[in-house]
Amino acid sequence: MSKDSGRQNLLVSTRSEDAVGVSFEEAILQPVAKEGGLYTFQSLPTLNKDDIARFERLSYSELCEDIFARLGLGLDTHILKEALQSYESFDDITNPAPVKKIDSDLFILELFHGPTRAFKDMALQPFGKLLSSFAKQKHQDYLILTATSGDTGPAALESFAHKENIRVVCLYPQGGTSDVQRLQMTTQNAHNLKVLGIEGDFDDAQSALKSLLADSAFNDALAQRKIALSAANSVNIGRIVFQIIYHIWAYVSLIKTHSLSYGEKLSIIVPSGNFGNILGAFYAKKMGLPIGRLVVASNPNHILTDFITSGVYDITQRSLIKSFSPAMDILKSSNVERVLFDLYGAKRTKELMQSLEKTRRYALTSSELALLQEHFDAFFCDDEKCLQSIAAAFEKGHLIDPHTAVGYYVAQVLGREKLGKCVIASTAEWSKFAPIVESAISSRDTHQALVDKEAIKAISQYQIQGQNVCITQSIENLFSKTEVHREILKTSQLKENILHWLDEA
């Protein structure tokens, strides 16, 4: 079997000045890098105008193959092709991430056409096949941990269900997801999947995952059972690589429809909590894609907006707010670390991350902030403006979820003069957050919001652009499934519970 040509681009730790890197396969299988850092690229390839013109002739899967080859990840081409077959389960095999015009010079990149109706499918469906192929080749059993604020969990579980050599434990915050998101996890009945609710919020779930990855006693206990440990969160660089592709696809799609000319800059707005989605856009920009501004759209937990505008990342006085856009209810944004490394290097990144771990804050210098702001803008949207934005988009013939509404609001506030032509990354289908969407378009008080099943039914009675709103069959079927996973634990109980499950399996 052949591997992509050219020199292999090894991946390095965000916190280590040691230039010795690891292969892409190693980084996927063991995502915790030296000194507690994250794996990232030593260098990125350069795209020119001719490259982008060539991309216009490629299918989505062919574009993935091209970018993977340029990145020099040393990946077996047969394994990659097999992983990319995941996109055949999307609504449109030829266009898994369609771009729709929403207004003059404003577009939406719809990233929710996969099996679990959220943008996480774009990376996690092929990523699951990749990791499973690596495990099978090594004849090694793996325990995959994932923590979710609502969308990563369903996508990871769907991707890894029934896979050989793979067992998955998914952690979600009790009460911190929509009913649909919870049901997408708790109704999974594959023998190799375990779903655990935890007492706490997503930051607690993510911290528990990172602690387990770094826990030598836990790793030793797994080794005694001949099981290795990995993770499916965006701490895993394998997720991020796939998230570069769809931003390039969006740009090329707009060229195809003559909405954009070659070399014309396109700003990208991303509703962001853990920073992985917009990190993909940042890497695409660094590679040479003509991107204007990278805009972080925050919800009431606007730690990222505060950081990008002030240079101070401070969670000392913050408590997580439960918002109408729960997948972004995050205070500890993991993937910011990779941008810090790219802009300031490993030594400074380590200093900043250690400060966050010890004091719950860090601050950039004025020159560091200026460098960050060369690429990024940020603004936030409160819950009331989120509802108004859903209603405003609906009046224009677009049914959007609360996270996309946050991006839509930020696009209106920052305006065309600042952003120019702009695309919003639409991260989820409306059906995953139907009670809030229905409240917004019917002017219902959210305190009297319908439950998910009834809200979905109510929205299906509306028309969009002369057609009835369709309910995705997989979403409708959730409400007749049995919830298999009902355990709710303290984070201190996780290790014992997971090991017990592995012994019973």
- Distance from C-alpha of 63 to C-alpha of 462, rounded to nearest angstrom: 37
**Confidence class for position 505, pLDDT limits 50, 70, 90:** confident
Which pTM was predicted?
Answer: 0.95
3-state secondary structure of 8: coil
* pLDDT of 209 above 70: yes
Structural domain boundaries of the chain?
93-115+238-430
The pLDDT of 353-359, averaged and rounded, is: 97
Average pLDDT over residues 395-407: 97
**What per-residue confidence (pLDDT) applies to 8?**
76
Rg (CA), the chain: 21
- Looking at residue 37, its pLDDT comes to 95
Which pLDDT does position 103 carry in this prediction?
87
- Read off the pLDDT of each residue in 466-470 and give the average, rounded to a whole number: 90
On the question of pLDDT at 4 being above 60, the answer is no
Strands 39-41 and 11-13: antiparallel
Structure tokens at 258: 């003559």
Residue 1 — very low, low, confident or very high, per pLDDT cuts 50/70/90?
very low
What is the per-residue pLDDT across 280-335, written as a single tens digit (0 to 9) for each? 999 999 999 999 999 999 999 999 999 999 999 999 999 999 999 999 999 999 99
Determine the average pLDDT of the residues in 197-215. 94
Taking CA atoms, 16 is separated from 42, 151, 347, in Å, by 12, 31, 7
Q: What residues contact 474, with CB distance under 8 A and at least 6 apart?
A: 115, 116, 117
Structure tokens at 342: 């790219």
What is residue 317's three-state secondary structure? coil
Question: pLDDT tens for residues 484-497?
Answer: 999 999 999 999 99
Going by C-beta distance under 8 Å and a sequence separation of 6 or more, which residues neighbour residue 148? 154, 156, 170, 171, 172, 177, 181, 185, 202, 205
Asked if residue 5 has pLDDT above 60, the reply is no
The pLDDT value given to residue 3? 46
**What is the residue-wise DSSP string for 330-387?**
-SS-TTHHHHHHHHH-HHHHHHHHHHHHHHSEEE--HHHHHHHHTTEEEEE--HHHHH
| CB 74, CB 3: distance < 8 Å | yes
C-alpha triplet 300, 301, 302: angle, nearest 5°: 90
User: Helices then strands (H, E): number in the chain?
Assistant: 21, 17
> How high does pLDDT run on average in the chain?
95
Which pLDDT tens digit goes with each residue over 90-138? 999 999 999 999 988 999 999 999 999 999 999 999 999 999 999 999 9
User: Could you report how far apart the first and last alpha carbons of the chain are, in Å?
Assistant: 34
* b/e 383-422 (16+ beta carbons within 10 angstroms → b): bebbbbbbbbbbeeebbbbbbbbbbbbbbbebeeeebebb
The answer to which of 8-12, 79-83, 291-295, 416-420 has the lowest mean pLDDT is 8-12
Q: Please check the confidence at residue 32 and state whether its pLDDT lies above 90.
A: no
List of residues 6+ apart from 193 with CB closer than 8 A: 157, 160, 161, 167, 168, 170
Q: Please enumerate in sequence order all residues whose Cβ is within 8 A of that of 256, keeping only pairs 6 or more positions apart, or say none.
A: 56
- Can you tell me the mean pLDDT for 365-373? 98
In this structure, what DSSP letter does residue 84 have?
H
Share above pLDDT 90 across residues of the chain, in percent, rounded to a whole number: 94
Mean pLDDT in residue range 451-480 = 94
Short-list 433, 386, 430, CA closest to 412: 386
Region 366-376: mean pLDDT is 98
> H/E/C letters for each residue in 120-139?
HHHHHHHHHHHHHHHHHHHC
Topology classification of domain 93-115+238-430 = Rossmann fold (3.40.50)
Tens digit of each residue's pLDDT (9 = 90 or more) over 161-191? 999 999 999 999 999 999 999 999 999 999 9
Dmax (CA) for the chain in angstroms is: 61
> Given this model, what pLDDT does residue 6 score?
53
Mean pLDDT, to the nearest integer, of 328-351?
Answer: 97
Degrees, nearest 5: CA angle 333-158-245: 55
8-12, 60-64, 147-151: which has the highest mean pLDDT? Answer: 60-64
